[in-house]
Amino acid sequence: MMEMMAVKTVTAFAGSLGFGMIFNMKPRHLLTAAAGGMLDWILYYYLAAFLDGIFVPSVCAGMFSVLYGEILARVRRCPANLYVITTLIPLIPGGSLYYMMSNAVRNRWAVSRGYGSELVMYALGLAAGICLMSALFDLIHKILHLCVQKALTNKKAGAIITNEEQSKSDDGKE
């Protein structure tokens, strides 16, 4: 069991690394992006083991991808999409898609529908997690931007008042 988990973890790292290379990421970003894919897979694996279903672990993994990507994008000064897309690669439900299509070709519609519904749950979960965390980061960014603007406006207004008071006191001395 642990050996299989180790193999899956290493392949998640290698898959993210390989996709980063295909995506022409700069070498200084490759290892951190691949580590994100590995961490995302570990998070999904353990959540799926403790929770029933596919949807909630997929939502959490999608949220983690965006969180990881946004934080590293700010720290490493590069686009967040590089990290978000690369960390999502190990979570793509290729097996479900393959088995759904394979069973559909063999006219095993009941089995194909089962894999199809599994595939939809994966995809919707990842999309929901990405959308939720992206919206949250956008909201936080806008709030911080407004706070900074307000602070700068108040600081400038204080400087203007101080300058006006200074001119009045200068006028009174003459």
68-98 confidence digits (pLDDT tens): 999 999 898 888 888 999 999 999 888 888 8
Report the alpha-carbon distance of residue 88 to residue 38 in Å, rounded.
10
CB 65 within 8 A of CB 87: yes
Report the alpha-carbon distance of residue 170 to residue 174 in Å, rounded.
7
Report the alpha-carbon distance of residue 166 to residue 168 in Å, rounded.
5
This prediction has a pTM of: 0.78
Q: What is the per-residue pLDDT for 174?
A: 47
Q: What is the per-residue pLDDT for 147?
A: 87
Q: Indicate the residue type of 172.
A: G
Q: Look-up: residue for tokens 């996709």? A: 19
Q: Is 109 exposed, middle or buried (0-12, 13-18, 19+ CB in 10 A)?
A: exposed
Percentage of the residues of the chain whose pLDDT score is greater than 90: 48
Query: 24: domain range?
Result: 2-173
pLDDT for residue 169 is more than 90:
no
- Number of structural domains (the chain) is 1
Percentage of the residues of the chain whose pLDDT score is greater than 70: 88
Q: Indicate the residue type of 139.
A: L
